[in-house]
Amino acid sequence: MHFTDFDTETFLRDYWQKKPLLIRNPWAQWVNPLEPDELAGLACEDDVEARLVSHAEGALTAEDGPIPAERFGELSPDKWTLLVQAVDHFVPDVAALIEPFRFVPNWRIDDVMVSVAADGGGVGAHFDHYDVFLIQGLGRRRWQIGAMCDDSTPLLPHDQLRLIAGFEPLEEWVLEPGDILYVPPGIAHNGVAVGDNCMTYSVGFRAPSRAELIGDFCDDLLDAMSDDDRYGDPGLPQQDNPGEITGAALDGLHAMLLESLSDRAAFARWFGRYNSTPKYPEIDWRPEVPVSAAEIVSALASKVPLLRNPASRFSFIRQDGGAVLLFADGECFECRGETAELAELLCAQTAVLVVDKFIRSAPAVELITSLYNQGSLAFEADD
């Protein structure tokens, strides 16, 4: 699936993180990648995150998955919607929907949530903290767009849903199959199914909060800190008032903090690992018995492409001298020369046919073996 009618440069310059954009069917040929029944089947499974939102007596209620199969038989004919998270991790044709959006780097991509709704179904007016492309897959949905919101925007009292109080639409459109609505973070939006079998694919992005960056980086720094590493004041000057915490003392204390936080190399390693940590570790591609490098070589020699686990986030950070740090599933691999080239290839493509020069390189094979054994990669022929 690819776009024939979409200008990435204009989009990034004028819309990304700035304002909503309705993109009328930009695909070469739009094909809905999943049937409503298949989505309902996924929602019944234990390791899949799902939610059923329905209107009951004028109010929205949410039921968290797994949804018992018999529940679908009891639903009213209208005003419900079923939402399933990270469907791209399970369905390759849904994962393929991310490909046209790779103009945004891997580390910013979250996953694809899929919803199916009966006539009048929707999750109510809300805002998200992330960018999203809402792709209309099947059926029709009316989308309304409202004002920019933030954490001070009044919400309706609701235990499970963050619904905006007094939502006022500024614009609205009815989306047809293949149409896409881009919604930047914070913009209020409300989607209501027009007719049954309304399927929406949300290609969602992620951006760490400052609180998350500081909290999680500090936790990582703390793990490596010793109790001996302490403030000291040899040469303590006499002070007039023993009650004062002097500017000089404060400078020394503050410097201890900044020294640790400003270690950019440590931050880079931590961030790569942190960002690549899987959100759903249940999607486990690890082989039952770890394979050896020799087994990897013979599989590579038979020209079977390597596939990235769609739940694994691959990214790299360049180092001085052409080396790269490769990150996948919370692990960091230092790669040089040919192996660095291979690491970049693995980050650029979801499937890689490994050429002979890598098969002849022991460090490159070692990297593939490690990634295979930790479940980040598999061969296309593997089950």
Residues that bind ligand SIN (CB under 6 A): 81, 115, 122-123, 128, 132, 134, 189, 191, 200, 202
Q: Which does 200 bind (CB under 5 to 8 A by kind): ligand SIN, Co ion, none?
A: ligand SIN
Nearest distance, CB of residue 60 and Co ion, angstroms: 14
Nearest distance, CB of residue 113 and Co ion, angstroms: 9
Question: Is residue 349 exposed (0-12), middle (13-18) or buried (19+ Cβ within 10 Å)?
Answer: middle
Binders of Co ion in range 117-146 (CB under 5 A): 128
Nearest distance, CB of residue 167 and Co ion, angstroms: 12
Which residue's C-beta sits nearest to ligand SIN? 115
Q: Which does 339 bind (CB under 5 to 8 A by kind): ligand SIN, Co ion, none?
A: none
For 89-152, the DSSP string reads GT-HHHHGGGGGGTTS-GGGEEEEEEEEE-TT----SB--SS-EEEEEEEEEEEEEEEEE--TT
Q: Which is nearer to ligand SIN, 30 or 217 (CB)?
A: 30
For 6-66, the DSSP string reads --HHHHHHHTTTT--EEE---BSS----S-HHHHHHHHTSTTS-EEEEEEETTEEEEEESS
| 111 lies in the site for Co ion, by CB under 5 A | no
Q: How many chain residues are in contact with Co ion, going by CB under 5 A?
A: 1
Q: Which does 115 bind (CB under 5 to 8 A by kind): Co ion, ligand SIN, none?
A: ligand SIN
Q: Which is nearer to Co ion, 84 or 328 (CB)?
A: 84
Q: How far is CA 86 from CA 47, 89, 92, 165, in A?
A: 11, 6, 11, 28
Q: Which is nearer to ligand SIN, 122 or 184 (CB)?
A: 122
Nearest distance, CB of residue 3 and ligand SIN, angstroms: 21
Rounded distance between C-alpha atoms, residue 174 and residue 195, angstroms:
11
Q: Which is nearer to ligand SIN, 128 or 179 (CB)?
A: 128
* Residue 244 φ then ψ, to 5°: -80, 135
Q: Which is nearer to ligand SIN, 183 or 326 (CB)?
A: 183
How many helices (DSSP H) and strands (DSSP E) are in the chain? Answer: 11, 15
Beta bridge partners of 120: none
Q: Which is nearer to ligand SIN, 85 or 339 (CB)?
A: 85
CA 298 and chain centroid, separation:
34
Q: What letter does residue 3 receive in the DSSP assignment?
A: B
Q: Are strands 180-183 and 21-23 parallel, antiparallel or unpaired?
A: antiparallel
Q: Which does 328 bind (CB under 5 to 8 A by kind): Co ion, ligand SIN, none?
A: none
Nearest distance, CB of residue 139 and Co ion, angstroms: 18
Binding site for Co ion (CB under 5 A): 128
